Structure 1
Amino acid sequence: MTENRQDNRRILALAWPILVGQLAVIANGVIDTAMTSRFSATDLAALAIGASVYVSIFVGLNGVLSALSPLIGQLFGAQRHEQVGAEVRQGVWLALFLTLGGGVLLLFPQPLLSIAHASPELAEKASSYLRILALALPATFGFRIYASLNTAIGRPKMVMALQVAGLALKLPLNALFIFGGFGIPAMGGPGCAAATALTTWMALLAALAVLRSDPSYRPFRLFAGGLGKPKWAAQRELLRLGIPMGLSYLIEVTAFTFMALFIARLGANAVAGHQIIANFATVLYMLPLSMASATGTLVAQAIGAGSHADARRIGMAGIRLAALLSVSTGCAVWLARDLIVRAYTPDPVIIAAALPLFVYIAFYQLFDSVQVTTAFVLRAYKIAVIPTVMYAVALWGIGLGGGYLLGLDPLGISPQPLRGAAGFWLGNSASLALVAAGLLWYLRIVQRHAGRERTTSRELA
């Protein structure tokens, strides 16, 4: 019992700065939307199109780079500090390669924008938005490396501080570039991208200054001998873990994207109600995501230290804690559902469309918290391929496929209460329950296998 309390305290101590930082990142998008909506409806539409393209590109590539965190966590747990620095340098090379690929897509986005069938004016504004963000991509990935390093060694507070400072800086820069001033012309929606680019580069420069000046980073020898050359064995290891991680993030994003597209067939009110729930669910997701990141970090450190019993105990403690918090959150959301939806909109028709969907939030949160925490624990064991396959089958097959059959009822067999957006949310909740159960089952197998390997190695020694 004492060990469980200690594990919970360690997880929470690491999770809360991650949570605050993630909420600050999300708030950037909220600010962009709120401020651009006051400029013009055309610019807001262009922002929505451009942001959807950018998120699709960024989430996949950023997911690949996220492989650094469990790898560094294991090295740090094993006290192999100089190898941490070497891994970070290889991460920089990977970030450069990813920047080249992502930069081409952002600089020449016409094939992706053509899917939206936007007007020439919208397409031009969205293109400008994406081309400016191409300038921010190197700094964004560079800061991702800094965040991965700090999280992996259990020091997320400085990342949080820089993310919150970036949010504070974003407000005046947005106002300057969107509406113009001091000789700078009004840019509208693309001004959000300019503000983001400046903020991101300033955050990266601040992070580099911290890495160079803070003596606690010296054991890692991050800047020893310069950047060096890419080592293809290290790159392969990063990609072996990073590609399935990036795909899993992309699967989750596209599952929600296609949900919205299908629900849009039911009319503006249905998709507006869905959008409120989806937006609120995204904010709530930051809590289990921060718990998952903290748990995965501590598990990776324990594995690196050779303590598989500690890794198993911490992993299960994190999953239980995330589930408990999600149930509490779900109950609170259900009780406050009327106040929440009215904070989004005063429209009684949209309120009527959104309120029935809140029943799925409680179940959704529970399953989502369990699956994401379990997935991060598996990544700490350097396992990501099987979970990605589970995501694809469940979220695309059960979630989208089942939601399509229930919500749109093409076969004419769906019960009336499940037709519409409710059917899609039920399908999505069921898919997450399936993923959570599958990942828990697979984690048990991985933990038993790791324990047997540890026992065998001791006997041979």
Structure 2
Amino acid sequence: MHELATIARHAGTVLAGQLAIMAFGVTDTIVAGRFSSEALAALSVASAVFVSVYVSLMGILQALLPIWAEQHGKGETTAIGASFRQSLYLALGFTLLGMVILVFPEPILTWTEVPQSMQADVRAYLMIVGWALPSAMFFRLYATLNQALGHPQLVTWLQVGALVLKVPLSIWFTFGGWGLEPQGAAGCAWATLLVDYAIAIVAIVLMRRQKLYVPLQIWQRMEAPDWQRISAFLRLGVPAGLSILVEVTSFTLVALFVARQGAMAAASHQIAANLAGVCYMVPLSLGIAISARVSWWRGAGNEAQAQKLAWLGVKIALASGLVLCSSLLLARAYIPHIYTADPHVIALTSSLLLWVALYHASDSIQCVCIFLLRCWRVTVAPLVVYCGLLWGGGLGGGYWLAYKNEATSAYWSTNPMPFWIGSGLALALVASLFVFLLHKVFQAQLADAR
């Protein structure tokens, strides 16, 4: 019960912070939807590109959590500080890569055939959030470090405070006022940029002044790049980041493909995707919490306890997934009214939420499983599974139903439903395979011990 309580506190604290960050997207979706359907459609496309880049890069840095948690379990405090300084080189390199993609998005917009009428607003949004990426990536390192140390509350308070600042700024920049012209969807991006730099600065101040970080000796002279250590980071982080890239793009690229169906379809899909993202915060928080604790026990040398906690995490993921799935099914006729007053968008969104609910039930299990697999440094196999099922089965299958199959493409020419059907079925297979893979890893470890 002690371990369950520890995990619950950690996960609950992380969840509060993740929901605050997710509320950034909810706020922008509501604000843009109230501004105009065109602004909401442009936000749908632009945020799909930004999230694909940011979450993929975030995944590379988040993959460092097991390393720092194991060092924490071993009591190697100064090694964590040295490792953190080396991670700054990793963050810098991938930040520059992400900025190039966001500031010059033309190849992506051309490939996905985003309508010309949307492209100007999309480019403006991406240009702004591209310059927010350095602060966002540093804050991700700060968050990962605190989660590995078992102190996520320091991150959560900053995330909640950021939301308090984000809401009025998004409204002001989007609608204008007090001498500022209405910015539309770009106003949400300006708000994000200002808030991201504000919390990054506060994080640096806390790392300088909080006693928690003193034993880590973070504020030492920066060493030259340790390529052996950075290579170890890359071996763990790159497959993890690519896995998240496949997972996220199988989800966000839908927004780009749906854009050709018109503003109503894009707006409805944005609301559905936003709700799916909010639900995802629950298994994400659980995955962070359980993997930190599992890695701590592995660092302490207790593999049996680590495996026991891993299976507990899978069971909790299943239970929470079923609860949220049921909640969405019961409330799907009412939720869209929060986002928009357009009756056509409301009706289409309500029908999409049926598949969003089923999608989340599988998403909950696979999310926790992939965090647990990283604790045992299993990253390549999940990447292969993602590529085959999420890209091939989910995204490819949805695209085929929507645009290539004569029997269905005419019926769903203005409806994103095929993409949700394909993704939901693909995720169910992914979740099953990940549970099986986790079981095989534990069996192999037991055989090695014998």
Instruction: Write the mapping of 1:224-303 to structure 2, written as runs, cut at 5 A.
Output: 224=220, 226-260=221-255, 273-303=268-298
- Offset from partner CA, 1:395-454 (integer Å, 9 cap, x none): 12222344455566727499x99x97555433322211211111111112222333444x
Secondary structure of the residue that 1:383 maps to in structure 2? coil
- Offset from partner CA, 1:25-45 (integer Å, 9 cap, x none): 121123234434566666555
Q: 2:332 aligns with which of 324, 334, 337?
A: 337
Amino acid at match of 1:292: G
Q: Which residue matches 2:17?
A: 21
Instruction: Write the mapping of 1:103-252 to structure 2, written as runs, cut at 5 A.
Output: 103-115=99-111, 116=113, 118-119=115-116, 123-178=119-174, 187-224=183-220, 226-252=221-247
TM-score by length of 2: 0.88
Q: Higher Cα Rg: structure 1 or 2? A: 1
Indicate the RMSD between aligned Cα atoms, in angstroms: 3.1
Q: Distance in 2 between matches of 1:182 and 1:363?
A: 45
1:206: Cα distance to partner? 1.0
Check whether the contact 1:133–1:194 (CA below 8 A) recurs between aligned residues. Answer: yes
Q: Which residue matches 2:31?
A: 35
Relative contact order higher in (CA < 8 Å, ≥ 6 apart): 2
| 2:358 paired with 1:363 | yes
Identity %: 39
Q: 1:384 aligns with which of 379, 388, 400?
A: 379
- Offset from partner CA, 1:154-211 (integer Å, 9 cap, x none): 1111101001111111233334544556666654443433332222122111111111
Q: Which residue matches 1:78?
A: 74
Amino acid at match of 1:62: M
Between Structure 1 and Structure 2, how many residues are aligned? Answer: 447
Q: Distance in 1 between matches of 2:82 and 2:392?
A: 40
Check whether the contact 1:69–1:152 (CA below 8 A) recurs between aligned residues. Answer: yes
Distance 1:278 1:131, change over 3 A: closer
Q: Which residue matches 1:443?
A: 438
Distance 1:317 1:269, change over 3 A: same
Q: 1:57 aligns with which of 53, 57, 63?
A: 53
Distance 1:81 1:109, change over 3 A: same
Q: Distance in 2 between matches of 1:57 and 1:423?
A: 24
TM-score by length of 1: 0.86
Q: Which runs of no fewer than 5 residues in structure 2 stay unpaired?
A: none
Amino acid at match of 2:10: L
Q: Which runs of no fewer than 5 residues in structure 1 stay unpaired?
A: 457-461
Q: Which residue matches 1:393?
A: 388
Q: Distance in 1 between matches of 2:437 and 2:146?
A: 28
Q: Distance in 1 between matches of 2:84 and 2:61?
A: 11
- Offset from partner CA, 1:57-103 (integer Å, 9 cap, x none): 22222222222212111111121111111111111111111122222
Check whether the contact 1:405–1:411 (CA below 8 A) recurs between aligned residues. Answer: no
Amino acid at match of 2:322: V
| 2:316 paired with 1:321 | yes
Check whether the contact 2:25–2:274 (CA below 8 A) recurs between aligned residues. Answer: no
Q: Distance in 1 between matches of 2:33 and 2:406?
A: 40
Q: Which residue matches 1:459?
A: none
Distance 1:112 1:382, change over 3 A: same
Distance 1:269 1:12, change over 3 A: same
Check whether the contact 1:60–1:249 (CA below 8 A) recurs between aligned residues. Answer: yes
- Offset from partner CA, 1:117-165 (integer Å, 9 cap, x none): 5548x54544343333233221111100000001111111110100111
Distance 1:408 1:128, change over 3 A: closer
Secondary structure of the residue that 1:230 maps to in structure 2? coil
Q: Distance in 2 between matches of 1:110 and 1:237?
A: 34
Distance 1:148 1:53, change over 3 A: same
Amino acid at match of 2:136: T
Secondary structure of the residue that 1:228 maps to in structure 2? coil
Q: Distance in 1 between matches of 2:93 and 2:310?
A: 33
1:277: Cα distance to partner? 3.2
- Greater alpha carbon shift after TM alignment, 62-71 vs 89-98: 62-71
